[in-house]
């Protein structure tokens, strides 16, 4: 029997966290390439520290982008400016931005490219997971959903000018109590946020409290002695000036907050031929539609691929005993309603578009599908197809 009464914790980090600054820059580079050529290949890693940004990786795309270091430097600066860094130790205008992107390996390209009767292959081997559950309206685990919402609310207030006491760098952590397998309230909430030097600890605490109360359902607030805001007492030096950042270090924050397995591959900085990204999106899309169709209240899907091979090597479905249909039949139906080759995923979800910078903070999942195709993997448009494939 699965555990029904327990505590579960997830964390989130803001767009100003050093690692998220790197994710944002890397995804802005992806968007720049895809805007110029939807079939561009990008694998961009970013490192940040005190007034230094380093871009490295492999690309294939139009020369006016790939060979334009001034353009790519400006892309990085614009991302930093939008996040809000104008500090002595990290400033969008004065940071040293180094661009070290080079041509994609021809060995990798020949395995991925379509040629003759060979379809487009996966950009790498690996396993990817997707997950959905009925704990929130967006069919996400509640602890990570609330952790994201708290930080997003604080960021919106900061960027709108509603407050001048907050800085861009922040983290949240929410622990929820589950009864009979369902979340019923918070037992602790932790928020650490960068703040102005003149702001007092109590001032920051009371401002943060407003946003936590706005996000949590009525009656869910944790006990006062379990509400932690800046537990160290001071958080003025933040962002890359306080801690080195790297692309791809917040993969649990990006996904399900630890409530589901993770294949290990990061998303940011990768074009959609990389199955680390596109197949994880597809797995979430399928899992969400399974739960949205009422076929389960909880569903995890694993996909696996080999570099250069177009078909998935395996499709695994687990509904944790909540499913209304046999899982083997469900796995077959999922492959019937969606082509899970790298090309099939890319075309079905229309991923070859500049839609990635917006994914770099507050989670890749549980977001609202957008008119230009952003977060297309959050749509619930397979519900009827799934029911039909299962004879419903």
pLDDT tens figures, 46-89: 999 999 999 999 999 999 999 999 999 999 999 999 999 999 99
3-class SS at 44?
strand
Give Cβ neighbours of residue 220 (< 8 Å, ≥ 6 apart).
184, 185, 186
Q: What is the pLDDT of residues 368-389, one digit of tens each?
A: 999 999 999 999 999 999 999 9
What CATH number was assigned to the domain covering residues 126-134+274-389?
3.30.300.10
Binding-site residues from annotation for K(+): 45
Query: Domain coordinates of the chain in residue numbers?
Result: 6-13+142-239, 18-112, 126-134+274-389
> Is-same-fold flag (18-112; 126-134+274-389)?
yes
Question: Is the alpha carbon torsion for 260, 264, 266, 270 positive or negative?
Answer: negative
pLDDT tens for residues 335-372? 999 999 999 999 999 999 999 999 999 999 999 999 99
Domain 6-13+142-239 has CATH 3.40.30.10: no
Greatest Cα pair distance, the chain, in angstroms, is: 67
Task: Summarize the annotated binding site as residue ranges.
Answer: 17, 19, 45, 58, 104, 169-171, 234-235, 243, 249-250, 266, 270, 274
- Outline where the chain has alpha helix (H): 18-36, 63-66, 69-83, 106-112, 142-160, 201-215, 251-254, 275-292, 327-337, 342-348, 383-389
Q: Which CATH number fits domain 18-112: 3.30.300.10, 1.10.10.10, 3.30.70.260, 3.40.309.10?
A: 3.30.300.10
Indicate the annotated binding residues for L-methionine. Answer: 58, 104, 243, 274
Annotated binding site for ATP: 17, 169-171, 234-235, 243, 249-250, 266, 270
Q: Which residues are annotated as a binding site for Mg(2+)?
A: 19
- Rounded Cα distance between 97 and 88, Å, is 15
State the pLDDT at residue 123. Answer: 75
Give this prediction's pTM.
Answer: 0.95
Distance CA 118, CA 353 (A): 24
How far apart CA 155 and CA 326 sit, in angstroms, is: 44
pLDDT tens-digit map of 178-228: 999 999 999 999 999 999 999 999 999 999 999 999 999 999 999 999 999
């Amino acid at each position: 029997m699965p555990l029904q009464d327990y505590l579960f914790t997830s964390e989130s980090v803001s767009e100003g966290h050093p690692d998220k600054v790197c994710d944002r820059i890397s995804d802005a580079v992806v968007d720049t390439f895809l805007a110029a050529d939807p079939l561009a290949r990008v694998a961009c890693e970013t490192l940040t520290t005190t007034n230094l940004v380093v871009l490295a990786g492999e690309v294939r795309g139009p020369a006016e982008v790939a060979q334009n270091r001034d353009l790519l430097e400006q892309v990085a600066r614009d991302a930093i400016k939008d996040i809000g860094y104008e500090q002595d130790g990290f400033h969008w205008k004065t940071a040293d931005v180094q661009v070290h992107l080079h041509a994609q390996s021809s060995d990798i390209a020949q395995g991925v490219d379509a040629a003759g009767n060979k379809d487009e292959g996966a950009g790498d081997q690996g396993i990817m997971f997707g997950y959905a559950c009925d704990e929130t309206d967006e069919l996400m685990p509640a602890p990570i959903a609330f952790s994201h919402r708290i930080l997003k609310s604080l960021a919106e207030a900061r960027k709108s000018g509603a407050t001048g006491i907050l800085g861009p760098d922040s983290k949240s952590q929410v622990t929820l109590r589950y009864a009979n397998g369902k979340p019923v309230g918070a037992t602790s909430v932790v928020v650490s946020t960068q703040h102005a030097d003149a702001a007092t600890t109590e001032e920051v605490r009371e401002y943060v409290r407003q946003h936590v109360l706005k996000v949590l359902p009525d009656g869910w607030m944790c006990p006062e002695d379990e509400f932690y805001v800046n537990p160290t007492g001071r958080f003025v030096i933040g962002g890359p000036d306080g801690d080195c950042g790297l692309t791809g270090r917040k993969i649990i924050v990006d996904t399900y907050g630890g409530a589901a397995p993770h294949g290990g591959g990061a998303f940011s900085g990768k074009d959609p031929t990389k199955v680390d990204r596109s197949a994880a999106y597809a797995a979430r899309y399928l899992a969400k539609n399974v739960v949205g169709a009422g076929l389960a209240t909880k569903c995890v899907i694993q996909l696996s691929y080999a570099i250069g091979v177009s078909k998935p090597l395996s499709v695994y479905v687990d509904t944790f005993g909540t499913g209304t249909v046999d899982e083997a039949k469900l796995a077959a139906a999922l492959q019937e309603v969606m082509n899970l080759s790298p090309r099939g995923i890319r075309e079905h979800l229309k991923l070859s578009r500049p839609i990635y910078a917006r994914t770099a903070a507050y989670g890749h999942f549980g977001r609202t599908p957008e008119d230009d195709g952003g977060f297309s993997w959050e749509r619930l448009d397979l519900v009827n197809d799934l029911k039909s494939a299962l004879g419903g």
